[in-house]
Amino acid sequence: EAGVAQSPRYKIIEKRQSVAFWCNPISGHATLYWYQQILGQGPKLLIQFQNNGVVDDSQLPKDRFSAERLKGVDSTLKIQPAKLEDSAVYLCASSFVRDIGETQYFGPGTRLLVL
Amino acid sequence: GQQLNQSPQSMFIQEGEDVSMNCTSSSIFNTWLWYKQDPGEGPVLLIALYKAGELTSNGRLTAQFGITRKDSFLNISASIPSDVGIYFCAGRAPGDDKIIFGKGTRLHILP
Q: What was the pLDDT predicted at A101?
A: 61
Q: What was the pLDDT predicted at A70?
A: 83
Q: What was the pLDDT predicted at B3?
A: 83
Q: What was the pLDDT predicted at A106?
A: 95
d(CA B17, CA B36): 18
**Shortest distance, CA A75 to any CA of chain B (angstroms):** 17
> pLDDT of A39-94, one tens digit each?
999 999 999 999 889 999 999 999 999 999 988 899 999 999 999 999 999 999 99
pLDDT at A100 over 60: no
End-to-end CA distance of chain A: 37
User: Could you tell me the strand order of the sheet in which A75-79 lies?
Assistant: A5-7, A19-24, A75-79, A65-68
Closest-CA residue to A34 (of A61, A15, A1, A2):
A61
Q: How many CB atoms lie within 10 A of CB A77?
A: 23
Per-residue pLDDT of chain B in tens (111 residues, 90 and over written 9): 678 999 999 999 999 999 999 999 999 999 999 999 999 999 999 999 999 999 999 999 999 999 999 999 999 999 999 999 999 999 998 888 788 999 999 999 988
Q: Which of B48, B92, B97 sits opposite A56 (nearest CB)?
A: B97
* 8 Å CB contact between A2 and A105: no
Q: Which of A21, A45, A46, A102 to mutate to test the interface with B (most CBs of B within 10 A)?
A: A45
DSSP per-residue string spanning B64-103: EE-TTSSEEEEEE-S--GGG-EEEEEEEE-TT--PPEE--
Interacting residues of B71 by C-beta distance below 8 A, sequence separation 6+: B22, B23, B24, B25
Closest-CA residue to A74 (of A29, A34, A24, A110):
A24
* 8 Å CB contact between A25 and A36: no
d(CA B43, CA B36): 5
Confidence of residue A103 (pLDDT cuts 50, 70, 90): confident
Q: Which of A44, A47, A96, A111 to mutate to test the interface with B (most CBs of B within 10 A)?
A: A44
User: Looking at this protein, which amino acid is placed at residue B10?
Assistant: S
